[in-house]
Amino acid sequence: MKKYVLKGGEVVTDLGSELRDLYLADGKVVEAGDGFEEIDCTGKLILPGIIDIHVHFREPGGEAKEDWESASRSAVFGGVTTVCDMPNNNPAILSRENLEMKRALISGRSYANYGLYIGYNGKNIDEINAAEGIFGVKVYCAHSTGNMGVEGDYLEEAFKEIRRDVRLFFHSEDEHIIDENKSKFTYGGVELHSKIRSDEAALSMTKKLCELAAKYERPIHICHVSTEAEVDLIDQYEWVTCEVAPHHLVLSTDDYGHLGTYGKMNPPLRDAKNVFGLWKAVKSGMVQLIATDHAPHLSEEKEVDDWRDAPSGVPGVEMLLPIFLNVVNDDGLTIQEVVSLCSKAPAELFGMKGKGRLEVGFDADVVVVDMDLEREFKNEDVQSKCGWSPYAGTVYKGWPVMTFVNGELVFKDGEIVGEKVGKEILVS
C-alpha cells in the first residue's frame, strides 16, 4: 500500500480549516514521517470523504439499471467514499441468507466503502434480530419501489420488538391518504404525482412515527424528508433525526415541465415554498444530514406513454458534493457546514467507526476539491449505468478532483486510477 502526503492544501473540518499537509498510510490518517509520495494540493480544499447513507445500487436484481461497479464508480467520481445500500432488491434483503448473498456479490467489486440495510416486512423480526453487521433496518410505511410497505400493528411492532442496538430508518408516507388521492386526481400529467403523494401524506405518517418514537423512547431516522412541515415537527422530538435529498433542495414541481417523468420519485418534488423551507431548516441545523436516495432507472423505463407506469427514482450519488460545492460558491452554505452535513454528522450519528474526520487514527477516506473548477454537467458525463441525470444541463462551480478510499487513490481528474478497495463498514 502506498503512503501519500497531500501537500499545500487547506484541510477542512466542520469547525474550520487550516493549511497543512495530510499524511496517509496503511489506510489511515497518520503522523508526519518520511518516505511518503507527495501529491500537490496547492489551491485545493481537502475534505473528509463524503458519506451517503441512502442509496439503491440495484444489485441483486436490477443490474440492467445499475450494479455495484458502476454505482460505486459514480460515487467516487463525486467524492463519496462510503455508501449505505437499501434492501429493496430482488430478492429483497429480508433474511440473513439474502443478506449474506448480497455481501458475497459485493465483496471485491466496490470502489467505495459500504454498509447494508436489512428490510422489515412485518414478518421477519427474528431474522432482523439475528442478523450481524447491519447498518440499519429500513421500514417502508407506503409502497414504493420494492413493495415492502407495512402499516398498522406491524408498524408499532417494529418499535417494540426489533432489537434496540440497530436504528430504524423510515420511508414516511401515509398509504391511506395516497390511495384516497389516487381517486381524486385521475386526469393530468406527471405533476399529479405530487398531489397524489401529497404534503399531507408525508406529514401524517411522520407525525405517527414521531409519536411512536416518543412512546417507546427509541431513536429513529426519517429518510428523504420533503416538506417544511415535517422538519418543523421532527424538530420537536428528541428521538427523531432526518435527512433531506439534494433533489428536494434544488428541484421543485416547476421542473416537471422540462423533466417530465425523469423528475418522478417518492416522495415527490414539492413546491417552491417547501424548497425554501427545507433550505431554511438545513441552514439552521434542524436537518442533520444530506443523503441522495440514489435510485436509477433506465431511460426506456422513464419514457412511457402513461406517467403512472414510469418507475420512481433518480440517480444522485455522483452529484451530491458538486451540488453543495456550488452552493458554497454561491454563499448559500459554508464549506464547514457541508463537511458536517455530508461527512461528520452521518459518521457520528450512526456510529461509523473511523469515518467523518481527518485526524490521526481515522480512516484515510479523503476528497480533494477544486472550488474554482467550473463546468456544465451533461448526461454523457454520468457514470451511473442509467446514463442520465436530473441535474444535467446545469453549470456547477466546485468539483472533486481526487478521491482516496482507505488510503488508496481511486479517482483523479475525471478518471478511475485505482482498484476496487471498498470494504464493509463497522458501526457501533
pLDDT band at 147 (very low <50, low <70, confident <90, very high): low
Among 114, 84, 146, smallest CA distance to 289 is for: 84
Cell for 199? 404534503
| Global confidence as pTM | 0.97
Q: What are the tens digits of pLDDT across the range 376-417?
A: 999 999 999 999 999 999 999 999 999 999 999 999 999 999
Mean pLDDT of the chain: 97
Work out the average pLDDT over 334-353: 98
Q: What are the tens digits of pLDDT across the range 8-49?
A: 999 998 889 999 999 999 999 999 999 999 999 999 999 999
Q: What are the tens digits of pLDDT across the range 252-308?
A: 999 999 999 999 999 999 999 999 999 999 999 999 999 999 999 999 999 999 999
Residue 174: active-site member: no
In angstroms, the CA 387 to CA 208 distance is 38
Q: Report the share of the chain in percent with pLDDT over 90.
A: 95
Residue 427: per-residue pLDDT: 87
Give yes or no for a cis peptide into 60 (omega within 30° of 0). Answer: yes
- Axis-axis angle for helices 152-161, 199-216 (nearest 10): 40
Residue corresponding to grid cell 482498484: 419
pLDDT(231) > 60? yes
Which one from 14, 67, 174, 293 is the annotated catalytic residue? 293
Q: How many Cβ atoms are within 10 Å of 162's Cβ, its own excluded? A: 20
CA atoms within 13 A on the CB side of 181: 17
pLDDT(110) > 60? yes
Work out the average pLDDT over 212-233: 99
Delineate the domains of the chain, giving CATH numbers in brackets: 49-349 (3.20.20.140)
